[in-house]
Structure 1
Amino acid sequence: MEDEVRAQRLLRLNLEPLGYRVITANRAALVMESVEQYMPDLVVLDVRLPDGNGFEVCQELRSISDVPVIFLSAHGQAAERIRGLELGADDYINKPYDPLELAARIEAVLRRSQGRAPALARIFRCGPLYIDMEQRLVLLDGVEIHLSRTEYRLLEYLALNAGRTLVADALLAKVWGPEYVGDYASLHLYISRLRRKLHEDAHQPRLILTKPGIGYMMPSDPR
């Protein structure tokens, strides 16, 4: 408990001078109560909690809110990171972490969660795919597809650049932020998630194409 209190105090000391209001909760149940009461702009969630684990909290949280979530973990195992992202987390940081890095990650997640599509392109159609960028609505064969905030931003950026091959680092910089350049594992994971939700054949995708050694592209007129 002492370590948890110290960690929470450190978060306050590093984030409040940057203008953030920090609300802490050291139990899984209190996290949900705090989210419902304060409606925060972002949640920093530890994987290990005294009365449960952060994965269960994130899953419950996603049933009521799309608030951005950043996981903290002392283990740093790839399987844990993938699980957190699959549950809808927006980022994952290993402990011990540099407070300046955490602040930068928070700012990056908030930037992309608050971003909007350029005013010129409102409607995009690509075969069975329909995107209304004003309403943030995605339809596949007329059926709505529910995407996380990051999944939507990735799909939107591909759509805005349909017909152009986007290098992996450009996608990471635009969708996640320049500090994420080189994090190809996260990009590959999100591309795979998007393809599954769009019912793509993993071996012969039609909507999100892989350009080996370069990046990805969405065709403007898929065959």
Structure 2
Amino acid sequence: MTLRVLVVEDDREIRTFMQSALAVEGFDVLTAVSLSEACAILRYDSPDLVLLDLGLPDGDGADLVHELRQRSNLPVIVVSARDQEAQKIRLLDAGADDYLTKPFSIGELLARLRVALRHRGTALEPAVTLHELDDLRIDLAARMVLRDGEPVHLTPTEFKLLARLVRSAGRVVTHRQLLADVWGEAFSGHTHYLRLYMGQLRAKIERDPAEPRHLLTDVGVGYRLAAV
């Protein structure tokens, strides 16, 4: 199951950094740049966790913590440059699950995220981000794909598709799941997208695309990335 994280952050650089890092770890990431946008998303969507900045253009993120705790047990991790102890205590007492002070490492963010989800009964294992087999090396954290030590240049969608297969290496991922995770639920019936992009991927990473060694087809079911 792909978990969804809502990142509420108005700083574009930090928001992009968090979005990219979480996507590599296998999360579906929603983003909002203001309180009003976050509230709109929460009305119509159901993320599994919220990463919340405090200093937003139209108000204080603390207000969202209070509002959410009136009606929801949704995990909330505050991510803020404010480091006053009193502020942290107030928000934790108000219902925030954790408080992470900027600047932070992505490793610490992910660890705290796993703890918050685990407290709600959702245990997560650290995501697989490195895959090596024969001549192929895929490093999701570095966004790098090498064949025989030479870089393979992928489009963003090709990389996202390959990353999804890496996270389930050795196991088949259904057509519907791949389409939903890479393109979104609205595209879950568009299998021609998969055929097109899998063809492009095979042309780039297989020695013989007609006889693939890495990107394998389970006829009528889906695709898998060979693990051995």
When the two structures are superposed, what TM-score results if normalisation uses the length of structure 2?
0.48
Could you say which structure has the larger radius of gyration?
2
